[in-house]
Chains A and B, each alone.
Chain A
Amino acid sequence: MRHVKNVLMRPEVSALAMLIVMVIVFHFLSPAFLTYGNFQVLLQPIPEVALIAIGVTILMIAGEFDLSVGSTFALAPMVMVLAMAAGWGLELGMVLGLLAASCVGLVSAFVTLRIGLPSFIATLGMLFMVRSLAIVISGGFPPPFPRELDLWWIVGRIDLFRVSVIYLIVIALLLAIWLRRTDFGSWIYATGGNREAARDMGINTAMVKTVCFVLCAVLAGFAGMIQTFRIKAIVPTMGTGFELTAIAAAVIGGAALTGGIGSVAGAIIGVFVLAFIENIIILTRVDANWFRFAVGALIVIAVALNHLTRHMAARIKIDEEAD
Protein backbone atom coordinates (compact mmCIF):
# COMPACT_ATOMS: atom_id res chain seq x y z
CA MET A 1 0.00 0.00 0.00
CA ARG A 2 2.85 2.30 0.89
CA HIS A 3 4.28 1.96 -2.62
CA VAL A 4 0.91 2.44 -4.29
CA LYS A 5 0.53 5.64 -2.32
CA ASN A 6 4.03 6.86 -3.20
CA VAL A 7 3.40 6.27 -6.90
CA LEU A 8 0.02 8.03 -6.81
CA MET A 9 1.60 10.99 -5.04
CA ARG A 10 3.96 11.67 -7.92
CA PRO A 11 2.74 14.74 -9.82
CA GLU A 12 3.07 13.22 -13.28
CA VAL A 13 1.25 9.93 -12.64
CA SER A 14 -2.18 10.93 -13.97
CA ALA A 15 -0.62 12.54 -17.06
CA LEU A 16 1.30 9.33 -17.73
CA ALA A 17 -1.89 7.30 -17.41
CA MET A 18 -3.60 9.70 -19.79
CA LEU A 19 -0.72 9.41 -22.27
CA ILE A 20 -0.90 5.60 -22.27
CA VAL A 21 -4.65 5.64 -22.80
CA MET A 22 -4.19 8.12 -25.64
CA VAL A 23 -1.64 5.90 -27.40
CA ILE A 24 -3.99 2.93 -27.25
CA VAL A 25 -7.07 4.87 -28.36
CA PHE A 26 -5.20 6.71 -31.12
CA HIS A 27 -3.77 3.45 -32.40
CA PHE A 28 -7.32 2.26 -33.04
CA LEU A 29 -8.43 5.63 -34.42
CA SER A 30 -5.69 5.64 -37.03
CA PRO A 31 -3.44 2.79 -38.11
CA ALA A 32 -0.94 5.43 -39.25
CA PHE A 33 -0.41 6.70 -35.68
CA LEU A 34 2.01 4.08 -34.38
CA THR A 35 4.21 4.01 -37.47
CA TYR A 36 7.85 4.82 -38.00
CA GLY A 37 7.15 7.55 -40.55
CA ASN A 38 4.61 9.27 -38.34
CA PHE A 39 6.88 9.29 -35.31
CA GLN A 40 9.75 10.58 -37.39
CA VAL A 41 7.66 13.66 -38.15
CA LEU A 42 6.03 13.87 -34.74
CA LEU A 43 9.31 13.81 -32.82
CA GLN A 44 10.87 16.65 -34.82
CA PRO A 45 9.89 19.63 -32.66
CA ILE A 46 9.68 17.70 -29.36
CA PRO A 47 13.14 18.63 -27.97
CA GLU A 48 12.49 22.33 -28.55
CA VAL A 49 9.04 22.43 -26.96
CA ALA A 50 10.13 20.11 -24.14
CA LEU A 51 13.11 22.28 -23.18
CA ILE A 52 10.79 25.30 -22.86
CA ALA A 53 8.24 23.29 -20.90
CA ILE A 54 10.92 22.03 -18.48
CA GLY A 55 12.08 25.59 -17.80
CA VAL A 56 8.54 26.84 -17.30
CA THR A 57 7.80 23.90 -15.00
CA ILE A 58 10.85 24.48 -12.78
CA LEU A 59 9.99 28.18 -12.52
CA MET A 60 6.41 27.23 -11.70
CA ILE A 61 7.65 24.91 -8.93
CA ALA A 62 9.51 27.92 -7.53
CA GLY A 63 6.18 29.75 -7.55
CA GLU A 64 6.52 32.05 -10.56
CA PHE A 65 5.35 32.30 -14.19
CA ASP A 66 7.14 33.13 -17.38
CA LEU A 67 4.92 34.21 -20.27
CA SER A 68 7.86 35.55 -22.27
CA VAL A 69 9.47 32.21 -23.23
CA GLY A 70 8.04 32.32 -26.77
CA SER A 71 9.68 35.70 -27.35
CA THR A 72 12.98 34.64 -25.78
CA PHE A 73 12.80 31.60 -28.09
CA ALA A 74 13.09 34.08 -30.99
CA LEU A 75 15.44 36.66 -29.44
CA ALA A 76 18.30 34.30 -28.53
CA PRO A 77 18.75 32.77 -32.02
CA MET A 78 18.23 36.21 -33.59
CA VAL A 79 21.15 37.57 -31.55
CA MET A 80 23.15 34.48 -32.49
CA VAL A 81 22.50 34.77 -36.24
CA LEU A 82 23.23 38.51 -36.24
CA ALA A 83 26.49 37.90 -34.39
CA MET A 84 27.39 35.22 -36.93
CA ALA A 85 26.53 37.56 -39.81
CA ALA A 86 28.88 40.10 -38.21
CA GLY A 87 31.61 37.48 -38.42
CA TRP A 88 31.76 36.46 -34.74
CA GLY A 89 31.42 32.77 -35.46
CA LEU A 90 28.95 30.13 -34.28
CA GLU A 91 30.29 29.50 -30.77
CA LEU A 92 30.48 33.14 -29.76
CA GLY A 93 27.12 33.72 -31.43
CA MET A 94 25.54 31.01 -29.28
CA VAL A 95 27.14 32.40 -26.14
CA LEU A 96 25.84 35.90 -26.94
CA GLY A 97 22.37 34.54 -27.72
CA LEU A 98 22.23 32.67 -24.41
CA LEU A 99 23.51 35.77 -22.60
CA ALA A 100 20.68 37.77 -24.18
CA ALA A 101 18.23 35.12 -22.94
CA SER A 102 19.65 35.23 -19.41
CA CYS A 103 19.28 39.03 -19.44
CA VAL A 104 15.58 38.54 -20.21
CA GLY A 105 15.35 36.20 -17.21
CA LEU A 106 17.21 38.65 -14.99
CA VAL A 107 14.94 41.55 -15.95
CA SER A 108 11.82 39.44 -15.28
CA ALA A 109 13.28 38.41 -11.93
CA PHE A 110 14.13 42.01 -11.06
CA VAL A 111 10.67 43.34 -11.90
CA THR A 112 9.00 40.49 -10.04
CA LEU A 113 11.20 40.27 -6.94
CA ARG A 114 12.53 43.82 -6.47
CA ILE A 115 9.69 45.94 -7.79
CA GLY A 116 7.17 43.41 -6.56
CA LEU A 117 4.86 42.96 -9.54
CA PRO A 118 3.26 39.56 -10.02
CA SER A 119 5.43 37.57 -12.43
CA PHE A 120 2.35 37.07 -14.60
CA ILE A 121 2.30 40.84 -15.30
CA ALA A 122 6.06 41.29 -15.41
CA THR A 123 6.56 38.55 -17.98
CA LEU A 124 3.46 39.54 -19.96
CA GLY A 125 5.24 42.85 -20.45
CA MET A 126 8.42 40.99 -21.37
CA LEU A 127 6.48 38.91 -23.90
CA PHE A 128 5.77 42.05 -25.95
CA MET A 129 9.03 43.85 -25.32
CA VAL A 130 11.29 40.91 -26.12
CA ARG A 131 9.31 40.02 -29.26
CA SER A 132 9.57 43.60 -30.39
CA LEU A 133 13.32 43.58 -29.71
CA ALA A 134 13.76 40.42 -31.78
CA ILE A 135 12.03 42.10 -34.73
CA VAL A 136 13.79 45.47 -34.30
CA ILE A 137 17.32 44.05 -34.12
CA SER A 138 16.62 41.97 -37.23
CA GLY A 139 15.87 45.25 -39.01
CA GLY A 140 12.78 43.66 -40.51
CA PHE A 141 14.97 41.54 -42.77
CA PRO A 142 16.77 38.88 -40.79
CA PRO A 143 20.05 37.82 -42.35
CA PRO A 144 20.00 34.50 -44.20
CA PHE A 145 21.08 31.54 -42.12
CA PRO A 146 24.49 30.24 -43.20
CA ARG A 147 23.38 26.97 -44.81
CA GLU A 148 26.90 25.68 -45.33
CA LEU A 149 27.36 25.30 -41.55
CA ASP A 150 27.86 21.73 -40.31
CA LEU A 151 25.21 21.26 -37.63
CA TRP A 152 25.15 17.46 -37.43
CA TRP A 153 26.36 17.61 -33.81
CA ILE A 154 23.08 19.17 -32.74
CA VAL A 155 20.33 18.48 -35.31
CA GLY A 156 21.75 15.59 -37.36
CA ARG A 157 19.43 12.65 -38.05
CA ILE A 158 19.96 9.39 -36.22
CA ASP A 159 17.32 7.04 -37.52
CA LEU A 160 14.06 8.05 -35.81
CA PHE A 161 15.49 11.03 -33.95
CA ARG A 162 17.64 14.04 -34.34
CA VAL A 163 20.75 14.57 -32.22
CA SER A 164 18.82 17.27 -30.35
CA VAL A 165 16.86 14.49 -28.60
CA ILE A 166 20.11 13.44 -26.89
CA TYR A 167 20.59 17.02 -25.67
CA LEU A 168 17.05 16.96 -24.34
CA ILE A 169 17.59 13.65 -22.54
CA VAL A 170 20.86 14.77 -20.96
CA ILE A 171 19.49 18.17 -19.90
CA ALA A 172 16.26 16.61 -18.58
CA LEU A 173 18.15 13.99 -16.56
CA LEU A 174 20.54 16.55 -15.10
CA LEU A 175 17.71 18.90 -14.16
CA ALA A 176 15.61 16.06 -12.71
CA ILE A 177 18.55 15.04 -10.50
CA TRP A 178 19.13 18.68 -9.60
CA LEU A 179 15.51 19.08 -8.52
CA ARG A 180 15.08 15.82 -6.62
CA ARG A 181 18.51 14.99 -5.28
CA THR A 182 20.32 18.22 -4.47
CA ASP A 183 19.89 20.75 -1.70
CA PHE A 184 19.21 23.55 -4.20
CA GLY A 185 16.40 21.48 -5.72
CA SER A 186 14.87 21.14 -2.28
CA TRP A 187 15.05 24.91 -1.86
CA ILE A 188 13.16 25.39 -5.13
CA TYR A 189 10.30 23.21 -3.89
CA ALA A 190 10.37 24.89 -0.48
CA THR A 191 10.37 28.39 -1.98
CA GLY A 192 7.37 27.62 -4.18
CA GLY A 193 5.58 25.52 -1.57
CA ASN A 194 5.74 28.07 1.25
CA ARG A 195 7.96 31.08 0.70
CA GLU A 196 7.64 32.31 4.29
CA ALA A 197 8.69 28.98 5.74
CA ALA A 198 11.62 28.71 3.35
CA ARG A 199 12.76 32.22 4.25
CA ASP A 200 12.39 31.55 7.96
CA MET A 201 14.64 28.51 7.56
CA GLY A 202 17.32 30.74 6.12
CA ILE A 203 16.84 30.16 2.40
CA ASN A 204 17.48 33.14 0.13
CA THR A 205 14.21 32.74 -1.75
CA ALA A 206 14.82 35.72 -4.07
CA MET A 207 18.08 34.13 -5.19
CA VAL A 208 16.38 30.76 -5.72
CA LYS A 209 13.65 32.37 -7.84
CA THR A 210 16.16 34.42 -9.83
CA VAL A 211 18.13 31.28 -10.71
CA CYS A 212 14.88 29.67 -11.92
CA PHE A 213 13.91 32.75 -14.00
CA VAL A 214 17.32 32.74 -15.68
CA LEU A 215 17.31 28.96 -16.22
CA CYS A 216 13.84 29.15 -17.79
CA ALA A 217 14.91 31.93 -20.19
CA VAL A 218 18.18 30.22 -21.12
CA LEU A 219 16.39 26.94 -21.88
CA ALA A 220 13.89 28.83 -24.05
CA GLY A 221 16.74 30.59 -25.87
CA PHE A 222 18.61 27.33 -26.41
CA ALA A 223 15.40 25.71 -27.71
CA GLY A 224 15.05 28.57 -30.19
CA MET A 225 18.59 27.94 -31.40
CA ILE A 226 17.87 24.25 -31.95
CA GLN A 227 14.83 25.13 -34.04
CA THR A 228 16.86 27.66 -36.03
CA PHE A 229 19.48 25.00 -36.71
CA ARG A 230 16.81 22.49 -37.66
CA ILE A 231 14.92 24.62 -40.17
CA LYS A 232 18.05 26.57 -41.18
CA ALA A 233 16.22 29.88 -41.16
CA ILE A 234 15.52 32.60 -38.65
CA VAL A 235 12.13 34.28 -38.44
CA PRO A 236 11.51 36.92 -35.76
CA THR A 237 7.98 35.64 -35.19
CA MET A 238 9.10 32.08 -34.37
CA GLY A 239 7.80 30.65 -31.12
CA THR A 240 4.71 32.84 -31.01
CA GLY A 241 2.22 31.21 -28.65
CA PHE A 242 4.78 28.78 -27.23
CA GLU A 243 4.33 30.26 -23.74
CA LEU A 244 0.82 28.87 -23.58
CA THR A 245 1.87 25.49 -24.99
CA ALA A 246 4.62 25.31 -22.35
CA ILE A 247 2.32 26.27 -19.49
CA ALA A 248 -0.29 23.80 -20.78
CA ALA A 249 2.35 21.05 -20.86
CA ALA A 250 3.53 21.93 -17.36
CA VAL A 251 0.01 21.90 -15.94
CA ILE A 252 -0.98 18.69 -17.75
CA GLY A 253 2.23 17.18 -16.36
CA GLY A 254 1.09 17.89 -12.83
CA ALA A 255 2.76 21.21 -11.97
CA ALA A 256 0.67 23.33 -9.60
CA LEU A 257 0.00 26.95 -10.55
CA THR A 258 0.42 27.80 -6.88
CA GLY A 259 3.97 26.45 -6.81
CA GLY A 260 5.81 23.73 -4.92
CA ILE A 261 4.58 20.81 -7.03
CA GLY A 262 5.78 19.53 -10.40
CA SER A 263 8.45 17.47 -12.11
CA VAL A 264 10.69 17.38 -15.17
CA ALA A 265 9.14 14.07 -16.24
CA GLY A 266 5.70 15.67 -15.98
CA ALA A 267 6.72 18.50 -18.31
CA ILE A 268 7.95 16.03 -20.92
CA ILE A 269 4.84 13.88 -20.64
CA GLY A 270 2.74 17.03 -21.01
CA VAL A 271 4.59 17.92 -24.21
CA PHE A 272 3.92 14.44 -25.61
CA VAL A 273 0.24 14.62 -24.69
CA LEU A 274 -0.10 17.87 -26.65
CA ALA A 275 1.96 16.55 -29.59
CA PHE A 276 -0.11 13.35 -29.81
CA ILE A 277 -3.37 15.30 -29.82
CA GLU A 278 -2.20 17.58 -32.59
CA ASN A 279 -0.93 14.58 -34.53
CA ILE A 280 -4.12 12.53 -34.28
CA ILE A 281 -6.18 15.51 -35.43
CA ILE A 282 -4.03 15.71 -38.55
CA LEU A 283 -4.04 11.93 -39.13
CA THR A 284 -7.81 11.58 -38.78
CA ARG A 285 -8.36 14.65 -40.97
CA VAL A 286 -10.45 16.35 -38.35
CA ASP A 287 -10.72 20.10 -38.99
CA ALA A 288 -7.45 21.44 -37.55
CA ASN A 289 -9.33 24.22 -35.80
CA TRP A 290 -10.41 21.63 -33.28
CA PHE A 291 -6.86 21.46 -31.98
CA ARG A 292 -7.28 24.38 -29.60
CA PHE A 293 -10.54 22.94 -28.36
CA ALA A 294 -8.80 19.64 -27.64
CA VAL A 295 -5.95 21.37 -25.82
CA GLY A 296 -8.38 23.35 -23.69
CA ALA A 297 -10.39 20.26 -22.83
CA LEU A 298 -7.20 18.35 -22.03
CA ILE A 299 -5.97 20.97 -19.58
CA VAL A 300 -9.24 20.82 -17.67
CA ILE A 301 -9.35 17.01 -17.72
CA ALA A 302 -5.69 16.70 -16.71
CA VAL A 303 -6.00 19.00 -13.74
CA ALA A 304 -9.21 17.30 -12.66
CA LEU A 305 -7.45 13.91 -12.91
CA ASN A 306 -4.56 15.27 -10.88
CA HIS A 307 -6.88 16.34 -8.10
CA LEU A 308 -8.59 12.97 -8.20
CA THR A 309 -5.40 10.93 -7.95
CA ARG A 310 -4.05 13.10 -5.15
CA HIS A 311 -7.33 12.74 -3.33
CA MET A 312 -7.14 8.98 -3.78
CA ALA A 313 -3.56 8.93 -2.53
CA ALA A 314 -4.47 10.98 0.52
CA ARG A 315 -7.25 8.55 1.35
CA ILE A 316 -4.91 5.57 1.43
CA LYS A 317 -4.29 5.56 5.16
CA ILE A 318 -1.06 4.09 6.33
CA ASP A 319 -1.52 2.39 9.70
CA GLU A 320 0.67 4.35 12.08
CA GLU A 321 -0.24 7.69 10.62
CA ALA A 322 -3.38 7.46 12.68
CA ASP A 323 -1.05 8.03 15.66
Chain B
Amino acid sequence: MAAPQLEVRALDKNYGSVHALKSFDLTVNKGEVIGLIGDNGAGKSTFIKILSGVHRPTSGAMLFDGKPQRLRSPRDAMALGIETIYQQTAMVPSMSIMRNMFIGRELRTAGPRGFGYLDVKRMGREAVAAIADVGLHLRHPETLVRDLSGGQRQGVAIARAMHFRSRILILDEPTNHLSVKETLKVLEYVERAKAQSITCIFISHNLHHVEQVADRIVAMARGRKVADQPVHELSVDRMIDLIG
Protein backbone atom coordinates (compact mmCIF):
# COMPACT_ATOMS: atom_id res chain seq x y z
CA MET B 1 0.00 0.00 0.00
CA ALA B 2 1.21 3.51 -0.82
CA ALA B 3 2.18 5.83 2.00
CA PRO B 4 -0.65 8.04 3.27
CA GLN B 5 -0.73 11.48 1.71
CA LEU B 6 -0.29 13.15 5.06
CA GLU B 7 0.96 11.72 8.31
CA VAL B 8 1.41 13.70 11.48
CA ARG B 9 3.26 12.15 14.39
CA ALA B 10 3.34 13.33 18.00
CA LEU B 11 2.88 16.99 17.11
CA ASP B 12 3.31 19.36 20.07
CA LYS B 13 2.94 23.10 20.21
CA ASN B 14 3.51 25.40 23.16
CA TYR B 15 2.74 29.09 23.13
CA GLY B 16 4.73 30.17 26.17
CA SER B 17 3.11 28.25 28.99
CA VAL B 18 0.04 27.32 26.97
CA HIS B 19 0.17 23.77 25.69
CA ALA B 20 -2.06 24.17 22.63
CA LEU B 21 -1.37 20.83 20.96
CA LYS B 22 -0.44 17.61 22.80
CA SER B 23 1.14 14.65 20.95
CA PHE B 24 -1.30 14.92 18.08
CA ASP B 25 -1.30 12.07 15.53
CA LEU B 26 -3.22 12.02 12.27
CA THR B 27 -3.13 10.00 9.07
CA VAL B 28 -4.94 11.26 5.98
CA ASN B 29 -5.32 9.34 2.72
CA LYS B 30 -5.64 10.89 -0.72
CA GLY B 31 -9.14 12.08 -1.56
CA GLU B 32 -10.52 11.79 1.96
CA VAL B 33 -12.66 14.50 3.50
CA ILE B 34 -11.80 14.83 7.17
CA GLY B 35 -14.22 16.67 9.43
CA LEU B 36 -12.14 18.29 12.16
CA ILE B 37 -14.33 19.21 15.10
CA GLY B 38 -13.75 20.64 18.54
CA ASP B 39 -14.70 23.54 20.75
CA ASN B 40 -12.84 26.87 20.74
CA GLY B 41 -9.34 26.36 22.13
CA ALA B 42 -9.35 22.63 21.37
CA GLY B 43 -6.27 23.01 19.17
CA LYS B 44 -7.87 22.86 15.70
CA SER B 45 -6.56 26.26 14.64
CA THR B 46 -3.12 25.52 16.05
CA PHE B 47 -2.96 22.33 14.03
CA ILE B 48 -4.02 23.93 10.76
CA LYS B 49 -1.67 26.90 11.29
CA ILE B 50 1.17 24.38 11.58
CA LEU B 51 -0.05 22.40 8.59
CA SER B 52 -0.25 25.56 6.49
CA GLY B 53 3.23 26.73 7.48
CA VAL B 54 2.17 29.81 9.47
CA HIS B 55 3.42 28.39 12.80
CA ARG B 56 6.17 25.87 13.47
CA PRO B 57 5.56 22.95 15.83
CA THR B 58 7.50 22.71 19.10
CA SER B 59 8.15 19.05 18.36
CA GLY B 60 6.83 16.20 16.24
CA ALA B 61 7.03 15.20 12.60
CA MET B 62 4.99 15.77 9.46
CA LEU B 63 5.26 13.40 6.50
CA PHE B 64 3.88 14.11 3.06
CA ASP B 65 3.67 11.05 0.81
CA GLY B 66 5.90 9.31 3.34
CA LYS B 67 8.61 11.97 3.21
CA PRO B 68 9.32 14.09 6.30
CA GLN B 69 8.96 17.82 5.56
CA ARG B 70 9.67 20.97 7.48
CA LEU B 71 7.36 23.88 6.71
CA ARG B 72 9.07 27.18 7.36
CA SER B 73 6.51 29.45 5.72
CA PRO B 74 3.12 29.37 4.01
CA ARG B 75 5.03 29.25 0.73
CA ASP B 76 6.59 25.91 1.72
CA ALA B 77 3.14 24.52 2.44
CA MET B 78 1.76 25.88 -0.82
CA ALA B 79 4.67 24.32 -2.71
CA LEU B 80 3.60 20.94 -1.29
CA GLY B 81 0.06 21.59 -2.49
CA ILE B 82 -1.48 22.50 0.85
CA GLU B 83 -3.95 25.32 0.47
CA THR B 84 -5.76 26.86 3.41
CA ILE B 85 -8.95 28.86 3.20
CA TYR B 86 -9.43 30.86 6.38
CA GLN B 87 -12.84 31.94 7.51
CA GLN B 88 -12.37 35.70 7.42
CA THR B 89 -8.95 36.34 6.03
CA ALA B 90 -8.84 34.41 2.79
CA MET B 91 -9.38 37.43 0.55
CA VAL B 92 -8.39 41.06 0.24
CA PRO B 93 -11.76 42.84 -0.13
CA SER B 94 -10.33 45.97 -1.78
CA MET B 95 -8.75 43.94 -4.59
CA SER B 96 -10.31 42.38 -7.66
CA ILE B 97 -11.20 38.69 -8.01
CA MET B 98 -8.33 38.24 -10.45
CA ARG B 99 -5.77 39.86 -8.16
CA ASN B 100 -7.01 37.79 -5.25
CA MET B 101 -6.75 34.56 -7.23
CA PHE B 102 -3.07 35.18 -7.88
CA ILE B 103 -1.81 36.91 -4.69
CA GLY B 104 1.77 35.79 -4.19
CA ARG B 105 1.64 33.62 -7.34
CA GLU B 106 1.11 36.28 -9.97
CA LEU B 107 1.59 35.32 -13.61
CA ARG B 108 4.43 37.31 -15.14
CA THR B 109 5.33 38.11 -18.72
CA ALA B 110 8.86 39.00 -17.68
CA GLY B 111 11.12 39.33 -14.68
CA PRO B 112 11.79 37.23 -11.57
CA ARG B 113 9.35 36.97 -8.68
CA GLY B 114 9.10 40.32 -6.91
CA PHE B 115 10.27 42.22 -9.99
CA GLY B 116 7.83 40.74 -12.49
CA TYR B 117 5.61 42.45 -15.02
CA LEU B 118 2.07 41.09 -14.67
CA ASP B 119 0.37 39.10 -17.39
CA VAL B 120 -3.00 40.67 -16.66
CA LYS B 121 -4.75 39.16 -19.69
CA ARG B 122 -3.82 35.60 -18.85
CA MET B 123 -4.60 36.11 -15.16
CA GLY B 124 -8.05 37.37 -16.10
CA ARG B 125 -8.75 34.44 -18.43
CA GLU B 126 -7.52 31.82 -15.97
CA ALA B 127 -9.42 33.39 -13.08
CA VAL B 128 -12.71 33.26 -14.97
CA ALA B 129 -12.09 29.67 -16.07
CA ALA B 130 -11.12 28.50 -12.58
CA ILE B 131 -14.21 30.09 -11.06
CA ALA B 132 -16.44 28.48 -13.68
CA ASP B 133 -14.87 25.12 -12.75
CA VAL B 134 -16.37 25.25 -9.27
CA GLY B 135 -19.76 26.14 -10.71
CA LEU B 136 -19.67 29.84 -9.92
CA HIS B 137 -20.50 32.32 -12.65
CA LEU B 138 -18.55 35.55 -12.40
CA ARG B 139 -17.53 36.72 -15.82
CA HIS B 140 -15.70 39.89 -14.81
CA PRO B 141 -12.36 39.25 -13.15
CA GLU B 142 -12.10 42.97 -12.31
CA THR B 143 -15.03 42.83 -9.87
CA LEU B 144 -13.87 43.68 -6.36
CA VAL B 145 -14.13 40.91 -3.79
CA ARG B 146 -15.77 43.49 -1.50
CA ASP B 147 -18.80 43.39 -3.83
CA LEU B 148 -19.20 39.59 -3.62
CA SER B 149 -21.40 37.72 -1.18
CA GLY B 150 -19.84 35.53 1.50
CA GLY B 151 -20.63 32.37 -0.43
CA GLN B 152 -19.14 33.76 -3.64
CA ARG B 153 -15.97 34.65 -1.75
CA GLN B 154 -15.62 31.10 -0.49
CA GLY B 155 -16.25 29.91 -4.05
CA VAL B 156 -13.43 32.10 -5.36
CA ALA B 157 -11.13 30.89 -2.56
CA ILE B 158 -11.89 27.26 -3.39
CA ALA B 159 -11.47 27.98 -7.11
CA ARG B 160 -8.07 29.47 -6.29
CA ALA B 161 -7.04 26.36 -4.38
CA MET B 162 -8.18 24.07 -7.19
CA HIS B 163 -6.56 26.21 -9.87
CA PHE B 164 -3.19 25.84 -8.19
CA ARG B 165 -3.63 22.06 -8.17
CA SER B 166 -3.62 21.89 -4.44
CA ARG B 167 -3.70 18.35 -3.11
CA ILE B 168 -4.81 19.09 0.42
CA LEU B 169 -7.46 21.72 0.95
CA ILE B 170 -7.99 23.06 4.46
CA LEU B 171 -11.29 24.84 4.99
CA ASP B 172 -11.51 26.76 8.25
CA GLU B 173 -15.15 27.48 9.12
CA PRO B 174 -16.12 28.00 5.47
CA THR B 175 -19.84 28.17 6.23
CA ASN B 176 -19.70 30.78 8.99
CA HIS B 177 -21.93 33.81 8.48
CA LEU B 178 -23.44 32.34 5.33
CA SER B 179 -27.09 32.02 4.41
CA VAL B 180 -28.60 28.56 4.09
CA LYS B 181 -28.58 28.76 0.31
CA GLU B 182 -24.96 29.86 0.21
CA THR B 183 -23.94 27.19 2.70
CA LEU B 184 -25.32 24.57 0.33
CA LYS B 185 -23.24 26.11 -2.46
CA VAL B 186 -20.08 25.89 -0.38
CA LEU B 187 -20.78 22.28 0.55
CA GLU B 188 -21.24 21.66 -3.16
CA TYR B 189 -17.81 23.19 -3.86
CA VAL B 190 -16.33 20.76 -1.36
CA GLU B 191 -18.05 17.89 -3.15
CA ARG B 192 -16.55 19.07 -6.43
CA ALA B 193 -13.09 19.22 -4.89
CA LYS B 194 -13.58 15.72 -3.55
CA ALA B 195 -14.70 14.51 -6.99
CA GLN B 196 -11.32 15.68 -8.30
CA SER B 197 -9.72 13.57 -5.54
CA ILE B 198 -8.50 16.59 -3.61
CA THR B 199 -8.10 15.81 0.06
CA CYS B 200 -10.10 18.13 2.30
CA ILE B 201 -9.81 18.99 5.97
CA PHE B 202 -13.10 20.62 6.85
CA ILE B 203 -13.32 22.52 10.11
CA SER B 204 -16.67 23.69 11.36
CA HIS B 205 -18.69 24.34 14.46
CA ASN B 206 -21.74 23.29 12.54
CA LEU B 207 -21.73 19.52 13.05
CA HIS B 208 -24.57 19.04 10.57
CA HIS B 209 -22.41 20.53 7.81
CA VAL B 210 -19.50 18.35 8.88
CA GLU B 211 -21.71 15.28 8.84
CA GLN B 212 -22.88 16.09 5.30
CA VAL B 213 -19.46 16.28 3.64
CA ALA B 214 -16.97 14.36 5.78
CA ASP B 215 -15.87 10.74 5.34
CA ARG B 216 -14.17 10.64 8.70
CA ILE B 217 -14.48 12.66 11.89
CA VAL B 218 -11.51 13.72 13.98
CA ALA B 219 -12.57 15.27 17.27
CA MET B 220 -10.26 17.37 19.45
CA ALA B 221 -10.50 18.60 23.02
CA ARG B 222 -7.93 20.46 25.12
CA GLY B 223 -5.16 19.99 22.56
CA ARG B 224 -5.64 16.23 22.16
CA LYS B 225 -7.32 13.98 19.65
CA VAL B 226 -10.28 12.36 21.41
CA ALA B 227 -11.88 10.49 18.51
CA ASP B 228 -11.04 9.43 14.94
CA GLN B 229 -13.67 7.31 13.22
CA PRO B 230 -15.78 7.04 10.05
CA VAL B 231 -18.66 9.46 9.94
CA HIS B 232 -21.35 6.78 9.66
CA GLU B 233 -20.37 5.44 13.07
CA LEU B 234 -21.19 8.75 14.71
CA SER B 235 -24.33 10.74 15.31
CA VAL B 236 -24.35 14.49 15.78
CA ASP B 237 -25.28 13.95 19.44
CA ARG B 238 -22.29 11.70 19.93
CA MET B 239 -20.07 14.33 18.31
CA ILE B 240 -21.32 16.93 20.76
CA ASP B 241 -20.47 14.58 23.64
CA LEU B 242 -16.97 14.07 22.26
CA ILE B 243 -16.00 17.71 22.02
CA GLY B 244 -17.76 18.83 25.19
B is bound to A: yes
Q: What residues make up the interface of A, taking CB atoms closer than 8 Å to B?
A: 2, 6, 9, 181-184, 186-187, 189-190, 193-194, 196-203, 256, 260-261, 314, 318, 320-321, 323
CA distance A320 to B131 in the complex (A): 13
Known: A189-B94, A194-B93. A314 touches B117 (CB 8 A): no
Contact with A along B125-144 (1 / 0, CB 8 A): 00000000000111110111
Known: A183-B108, A183-B113, A200-B74. A189 touches B118 (CB 8 A): no
CB under 8 Å from chain A, chain B span 145-161? 146-149, 152
A residues within 8 A CB of B78? 201-202
Report 22 cross-chain contacts, Cβ distance below 8 Å, ordered by A residue: A6-B142, A181-B118, A181-B120, A182-B111, A182-B116, A183-B106, A183-B114, A184-B115, A186-B95, A186-B103, A187-B104, A189-B92, A190-B103, A194-B94, A200-B54, A200-B84, A201-B74, A202-B75, A202-B78, A202-B104, A260-B94, A323-B136
Q: Which of A183, A189, A196, A321 has the most CB of B within 10 A?
A: A183
**Shortest distance from the beta carbon of A317 to any chain B beta carbon, whole Å:** 9
Residue count of chain B within 8 Å CB distance of chain A: 44
Chain A interface secondary structure, helix, strand, loop or mixed? Answer: helix
Decide if A200 touches B120 in the complex (CB within 8 Å): no
Decide if A183 touches B118 in the complex (CB within 8 Å): yes
Q: What residues make up the interface of B, taking CB atoms closer than 8 Å to A?
A: 52, 54, 73-75, 78, 84, 86, 88-95, 99, 102-106, 108, 111, 113-118, 120, 136-140, 142-144, 146-149, 152
Decide if A189 touches B99 in the complex (CB within 8 Å): yes
Given contacts A194-B92, A197-B92, 20 further A-B contacts (CB under 8 A): A182-B111, A183-B106, A184-B116, A189-B99, A190-B103, A194-B89, A196-B88, A198-B92, A200-B54, A200-B74, A201-B74, A201-B104, A202-B105, A261-B94, A320-B139, A320-B140, A321-B143, A321-B147, A321-B148, A323-B137
